[in-house]
Amino acid sequence: MKDFIEQRIKNAVRFLLTGRVNEILRDQEFNTPVIEFGYYTGTVEPSVTLAFCEKTEKERIVRLDAYSMTITFTLPDTFASECQCYAMCAAVCMALKENPTLGGIADRAIMTGEKYVAPKKPNCGEGWGVVLSLRVTVEELAHVG
């Protein structure tokens, strides 16, 4: 049974996060938690959501499907959390620039937005967060059949 294109895109992004993004984070000067999917102590588990988004007229003509993806990281409130948020965002940006096709799954994946969320009250149990927005385009006929 073939996977749906949406599943393949999510899996490619998960592979990018646990692979190349983790490599970039490990090479940095300061300590940043590793990205893993599943409950592991001392790691960060991002939320990866995908939605079909509105296409431009050009994308309709050349038959491209456009997807909107959100990657959300939540970090505990510590002294280094803000810096770790910036590091995670930079690592994801670098990994996407190196591999904009997500290993051949998409025609192009680009970062369209970054949002940093600070705790409303420091040291009250809320953590820091990063919400990254991506736009992924895939040729319609490439994933049919």
| Class for the domain spanning 5-142 | alpha beta
Strands 43-44 vs 34-35: parallel, antiparallel or unpaired? parallel
Residue 14 has what pLDDT? 95
Domain segments of the chain: what residues?
A: 5-142
User: Is 0.85 surpassed by the pTM of this model?
Assistant: yes
Task: Please give the distance of CA 120 from its chain centroid, rounded to a whole number.
Answer: 24
Per-residue pLDDT 10s for the chain (145 aa) are 356 888 999 999 999 999 999 999 999 887 888 899 887 777 899 999 998 777 778 777 878 888 999 999 998 888 888 899 999 999 999 999 999 999 999 999 999 999 999 888 776 767 899 999 999 998 876 555 5
Phi, psi torsion values for 140, nearest 5 degrees? -55, -45
